[in-house]
Amino acid sequence: MEKIDWHLLTATPSEEGEKRKLKVGGKTLCIVHLEGKIRAVGNRCPHAGADLSQGWCEESKIVCPFHRHRFDLLTGKGDAGQANFIPVYPVKQVDGKWYVGIKKSWWKGW
Ligand code: FES
C-alpha cells in the first residue's frame, strides 16, 4: 500500500477562483479555491513549463497563461486534443485547516 504524508497548507486562497503557488513536501503546487473547497495540483504546465498559478480558472478548470491549455482541477486531465495532464493531489480539512497528501518517496524509507 502506498503511504501518504499529509502536509499542512500554511496559506490557502480564500476567494473563489483564487490561486496560490506553494512549495510543499518538495513539490511546487498550485493551490486553488474552487467551489468552497481547496484543490491542489502541480504548478508546472506540461506543455512548456508555465507557472499555472499565474493562469486563471474557468468552470472547474485552470487555464495556462502561456498557450491556454486547460486542465480539470479534479482529475488533472487536459482538454481534448491536448494529450496532457497535470498531477492532482488529495486534500483534506481537519479542524478548519487544510492538508495536502503527497506520496512518500520510496527512497526516503518507510
Ligand atoms: S506552457 Fe502551458 S499551454 Fe503552453
CATH code, domain with 16 = 2.102.10.10
Q: How many domains does the chain have?
A: 1
| 93 domain residue, yes or no | yes
What number does the ligand 1 atom closest to the CA of 64 have?
2
Sign of CA dihedral 88, 91, 97, 102: negative
- Cβ neighbors of 6 (< 8 A, separation 6 or more) are 92, 99, 100, 101
Give the distance (Å) from ligand 1 centre to CA of residue 65: 7
Query: Angle at CA 106, nearest 5°, toward 109 and 53?
Result: 115
Q: What is the SS3 assignment for 51?
A: strand
| 107 domain residue, yes or no | no
pLDDT number for residue 106: 67
| 54 domain residue, yes or no | yes
| 110 domain residue, yes or no | no
Query: Is the pLDDT confidence value at 110 over 60?
Result: no
Q: Could you tell me the residue range of the domain that residue 80 belongs to?
A: 4-101
55-80: average pLDDT: 97
57-80: average pLDDT: 97
| 60 domain residue, yes or no | yes
| 33 domain residue, yes or no | yes
Give the distance (Å) from ligand 1 centre to CA of residue 67: 5
| 77 domain residue, yes or no | yes
What number does the ligand 1 atom closest to the CA of 55 have?
2
pLDDT number for residue 104: 83
| 108 domain residue, yes or no | no
